[in-house]
Amino acid sequence: MKYVIVESGGKQYKAVEGSTIDVDLLPQEVGDSVTLDKVLLYVNDNVVEVGTPAVKGASVKTTVASQEKGPKIIVFKYKPKKHYRVKTGHRQKYTRLVVEKIETE
């Protein structure tokens, strides 16, 4: 099985050819191609390459499939007996990438 661990937006994701990954919002439009160059680990059956910090010559070619929003998260803060209550929400935006090809030297 061929896969890589790639970094995008300070977070690490496992990418397999043909699968999708949800990364933090990228400025590209739907249908644009994105190359992720920071490959931290490359695995192809028995061949394992660990980067220091990145694997040289390795990259992941992806295509933007959609721009989506994550689930709504409710944040509620309060202090008992002090009449302090704050209710806010947050909804993270993601970019869904389809992994087209994993390239190495």
> In the β-sheet with 47-50, what is the strand arrangement from edge to edge?
11-16, 2-8, 39-44, 47-50
Q: Is it the case that residue 76 has pLDDT exceeding 90?
A: yes
The range of the structural domain enclosing residue 48 comes to: 2-103
Q: Measured between alpha carbons, how far is 27 from 63 in angstroms, rounded to an integer?
A: 13
Mean pLDDT of 83-100: 97
Check if the beta carbon of residue 7 is closer than 8 Å to that of residue 14.
Answer: no
DSSP of 66-100, one letter per residue? EEEE---EEEEEEETTTTEEEEEEE--EEEEEEEE
Interval 25-56: pLDDT, tens: 999 999 999 999 999 999 998 999 898 899 99
Q: Please, which pLDDT band fits residue 1 given cuts at 50, 70 and 90? A: confident
How many domains is the chain partitioned into structurally?
1
Q: What percent of the chain is modeled with pLDDT above 90?
A: 90
